[in-house]
Amino acid sequence: MTRPVKPIRTDADLDAALREINRLWGSKPDTADGDRLEVLAILVERYEKDHFPIDAPTAIDAIAFRLEQMGLDQSALEPIIGPSGHVREVMAGKRQLTLEMIRRLHDELDISADVLIQPSRPDDATETFA
């Protein structure tokens, strides 16, 4: 007999849910086991989101990651950002992305605009304006 599905409130609950997910892995959708797997996965996702949040990447991290994914180096950014000196300054966090750069990075490299509008450096997030 399977145990009833209940909210995940502790790490022990999480471990039990993950063991059950492992047991149910591969269950067919629209079956009792498939439905149980789906509900447990949703509960685990919510618990992990609440207890182990992952910060969004900085714009620079996202650009570097996308270049790596595409097998490109920073010179590929020159048509998007401008001369190599500007590219180096942006990637070093010494120059902010402009709105036009953000638009081109989004269009050309398919990087989320939401990520690109984040501060380039984590300490910029606390910057105040007079």
**Look-up of token digits 């997030």:** 125
* pLDDT tens, residue by residue, 18-29: 999 999 999 999
Domain residues of the chain, as ranges? 11-51, 59-122
For residue 29, give the amino acid letter: P
With bands split at pLDDT 50, 70 and 90, how would you rate the model's confidence at 97? very high
Spell out the SS3 assignment of the chain: CCCCCCCCCCHHHHHHHHHHHHHHCCCCCCCHHHHHHHHHHHHHHHHHHHHCCCCCCCHHHHHHHHHHHHCCCHHHHHHHHCCHHHHHHHHCCCCCCCHHHHHHHHHHHCCCHHHHCCCCCHHHHHCCCC
Q: What is the mean pLDDT of the chain?
A: 89
| pLDDT > 90? residue 122 | no
| pLDDT > 60? residue 78 | yes
**pTM (predicted TM-score):** 0.58
**Look-up of token digits 């984040």:** 118
Per CATH, which fold does 59-122 belong to? 434 Repressor (Amino-terminal Domain) (1.10.260)
Rounded mean pLDDT of 59-85? 96
Provide the 10 A C-beta neighbour count for residue 83. 9
| pLDDT > 90? residue 55 | no
